[in-house]
Structure 1
Amino acid sequence: MVVSDLAPFHAIAMTNKLLLRVLPAVLLLASAGTTATVSSLPVRRYRSIFSFGDSYADTGNAMVFFAERNLTDPAAGPPYGMTFFGHPTGRYSNGRLIIDFIAEALGVPFVPPFKTYNGSFRQGANFAVAGAMALDASFFSFLPSMLKLYIFNSSTNVQLGWFDSLKPSLCSNKVKCKGFLHRSLFFMGEFGVNDYSFSVFGKNLSQIRSFVPDVVKTISTATERVIKEGAKTVVVPGIPPMGCSPPNLVFFPSTDPAGYDPRTGCLKQFNDLAIYHNSLLQEAIKNVQTKHKDVRVIYADFFTPIIDIIVSPQKLGQRDILSCCCGGSGKYNFNISAGCGMPGATVCQDPSTYLYWDGGHFTEAVYRYIAKGWLDNINSYHV
């Protein structure tokens, strides 16, 4: 069986709208919800936040790319944003994301999307784009042309280029930029999920595993790049357990019961890929930290918290733990012909009792819980 973390696997033969709806489901991340308030946590003060990544952090950038190709961004329509904002904002959830809760806790505004915001970025900028990959788009030349339509030019290197273009508006020279960025908090990712998910269309599992080191190297190199620019605190997230996502469970079922983890019901091969990526990433981060002893380079665990919630859902009030809150019925409430926001899809009454929002993304309650864990780590971490 091959590995994928996207749901567009099946969609190559479908209409653009259907493919569009599955694509976001590729990006699964994070960990579970809680009633604890993030803002009550003690925090280290930062004056700005700069975020790179994909749909787990995208606050509206992807809408530009979808529009350029005459496509509709799923997160630009209801019921996305229904819980907190009351309307769609381009966020792939029912409300706030991890980056939003962290910004609230630090006392800075929500981090504005670089591509759609016209105001000042002095308090931070969000370069994350739904569907973004660590590797450059040219790497994926082996993919079918239909799928390439959804591969935007928004890789790690591209996002770093946007950051470079923004710096003149933040600080007038190299010395002042370093001083400004010393007081900024950086998030390098999550990156990697989409690299592996798209690649399933042209590579087998062994081939996908073979370029995991290249993905990790790209992330660690990007981390060093912002450090050289002046970053003093960089959070580098791993990837979540891909074998637990409803799209993967629906489209890549194992014919062998041993293919599932008996504790979680998740697909082992998918999760093994995530574990491999995360282990290499942690080693790479340690190496970066060793080279930059005056900088805080922090690994953010996306994998363990989700597994913990799936194993013990009652501690956070979760219910049908592997099903979507927003979906079109069927097993795991995931149906490609009725994705979240499409005709035929329904929304659960209380998203806070669900782990998954639309299949590939999590509910606001989950993101709140992750943010709390990350902040605890950031505040207690010492070089």
Structure 2
Amino acid sequence: MKLVFLFLLSLPCLGLGKTQISSIFSFGNSYTDTGNVLALGAMNQTLGPTVSGLPPYGTNFFHKPTGRFCDGRLILDFIAQALNLPLLPPYLAHNGSYQQGANFAVSGTTGLDYSFFVERNASNTFLLNTTLNVQLEWFLELKPHLCTSLENCKKFFGESLFIVGEFGINDFSVAIMAGKSLAEVRSYIPYLVKTIVKAVERLIKEGALTIVVSENVPYGCLPSVLSLYPSSNAKDYNPRTGCLINYNELSLYQNKLLHKAVSRLRLRYPRVRLIIAEYYRPITKFVKYPKQFGFIETPLQVCCGGGGPYNFNILQGCGMPGVNACQNASTYLYWDGPHLTEAAYHYIADGWLRGPYADPPISTAITEISQQTCSKL
């Protein structure tokens, strides 16, 4: 009887599931927002409604708008499903339990604090006070409702998966729209990476043992950027991708600094499973070889947009009256100007979970948790 009992205890160690990761907590922007910006719009009349709450957003899978800037699921959703966990509820729009996770990401969010841009006269746009540090404060406000003692919290967060990012797209856009040069925007990047690293360290101090730190996307490949900042010089475009080289350099520089910073964190916190999750490499690959992934031959074309060379028009964006989506979003890389389709997110999510677009893959980190759990049986 005792042998049977031990065998049953060992079964959870054989695969992914609730036994290894019991909850997910996510911080980010529109690449991970599952409805927080909708809640903000409902609470703040000045902000008003957002197009992510209007059709054709959410057409795929959910069959209705959910606040996701996508036709369907995001990377975060695919990860939750792979771990047999419910889709993460948006923190600002949920009245139920957060015992299996919460999503603090808000569309339009910057990693850097609002004051950073104001001090440098680098913002002439309305900025939400939902930065990474603010989202971290929300997490700390929620903490007493998740666990009560230091020991209990360490255990709870030690069995949770934390996802930090993507941050950078909005930081770049805010400064560029304020008229800052690319050289000046580049000078902000070390501060951005430092902010991300400090947030990761705070999560570690709260007991986090498994943390995904997301890279930035190839900024110069975004149809919105290509449309808003066209160049008359052909040399400004990468001949293989059609992306703007100097704008992509911002992302490459951020990702380089981020990788170095995470390497230092690994040395400082050897017990913590720090995962670098890539956006740049998979998206670049989709753009170079669209047919391999079932995408159209012009991968920089937007599925849901209002015309122009990339089917993106800031005055006729997806969700606005008279703007229609393509017939088959799964054959497109980009859903609207800055955001990907569910199909693209699915490919990237698989790469984060099993490789090769995460170091180490999330599944590897979870296997380590499983092995540690099993060794204690």
Q: TM-score of the superposition, structure 1-length normalised?
A: 0.86
- Conserved 8 A contact 2:211-2:275: yes
Q: Deviations over 1:166-220 (max 9, x none)?
A: 0111101111100101100000111121111101114211111111000000001
Per-residue displacement from partner, 1:225-281 (whole Å, max 9, x unpaired)? Answer: 101100010000001101111111112112211100011000001101100000000
- Matched with 2:302 is 324
Decide which of 259, 266, 273 is 2:236's aligned counterpart. Answer: 259
> What secondary structure, in the 3-state scheme, does the structure 2 residue paired with 1:338 have?
coil
> What is the match of residue 108 of structure 1?
85
Task: Quote the offset at 1:342 in angstroms.
Answer: 1.1
Distance in structure 1 (CA, Å) of the matches to 2:294 and 2:47: 40
- Is residue 2:308 matched to residue 1:333? no
- 2:174 maps to what in 1? 198
Contact 2:40 2:92 in 1 (8 A): no
Residues 54 and 129 of structure 1 are in contact (CA less than 8 Å); yes or no, is this contact kept in structure 2?
yes
Partner of 2:132: 156
What is the aligned partner in structure 1 of residue 351 from structure 2?
373
Deviations 1:12-33 (A, max 9, x none): xxxxxxxxxxxxxxxxxxxxxx
Question: For residues 275-286 of structure 1, what are the structure 2 equivalents within 5 Å?
Answer: 275-286=252-263
Residue aligning to 1:357: 335
The count of aligned residue pairs is 340
- The residue type equivalent to 2:128 in the other structure is F
Please state how far the C-alpha of 1:162 moved relative to its aligned partner. Answer: 0.3
Matched, 1:60 2:41: no
Counterpart of 1:211 in 2: which secondary structure? helix
Alignment partner of 1:183 out of 141, 159, 169 = 159
TM-score normalised per structure 2: 0.88
Work out the CA distance in 2 between the residues paired with 1:355 and 1:43: 29
Contact 1:55–1:92, Cα closer than 8 Å, also in 2: yes
Deviation at 1:372, TM superposition (A): 0.5
Superposition map of 1:55-94 within 5 A: 55-67=30-42, 68=44, 69-94=46-71
Tell me, yes or no, if the aligned pair for 2:155 and 2:207 is still in contact at 8 Å: yes
Q: Aligned AA for 2:149?
A: N
Gaps of 5+ in 2: 1-14, 355-360, 370-377
Letter aligned with residue 25 of structure 2: F
Q: 1:124 aligns with which of 96, 101, 107?
A: 101
Contact 2:22 2:159 in 1 (8 A): yes
Q: Which residue does 1:48 correspond to in 2?
A: 23
Tell me how far 1:337 sits from its aligned partner: 2.5
- Distance in 1 of aligned mates of 2:51 and 2:323: 13
2:275 partner SS: strand
Cα gap change, 1:371/1:109 in structure 2, threshold over 3 Å: closer, same or farther?
A: same
Aligned-residue offset at 1:70: 4.2
Between the aligned residues of both structures, percent identity stands at 49
Native 8 Å contact 1:329 1:345 kept in 2: no
Aligned partner (choices 166, 169, 173) of residue 145 of structure 2: 169
CA positional deviation for 1:121 = 0.1
Structure 1 residue ranges without an equivalent (≥5)? 1-41
Instruction: Find the aligned partners of 1:110 and 1:191 in 2 and give their Cα distance.
Output: 21
Q: Do the aligned partners of 2:306 and 2:323 also contact (CA within 8 Å) in 1? A: yes
Quote the residue 1:8 is aligned against: none
Whether the 8 Å CA contact 1:328–1:334 is kept in 2: the answer is: yes
CA distance in 1, matches of 2:37, 2:239: 37
1:213 aligns with 2:213: no
Residues 86-143 of structure 1: per-residue CA shift (max 9 Å, x gap): 1100001000000000000000100110000110000000000001111111112124
Q: Over aligned residue pairs, what C-alpha RMSD do you find?
A: 1.5
For residue 253 of structure 2, give the secondary structure of its aligned residue in structure 1. helix
Return the offset for 1:43.
3.2
Aligned partner of residue 107 in structure 1, secondary structure: coil
Determine which structure has greater relative contact order: mean sequence separation of CA pairs < 8 Å that are 6+ residues apart, divided by chain length: 1
Deviation at 1:144, TM superposition (A): 5.2
Aligned equivalents of 2:92 and 2:268: distance in 1? 33
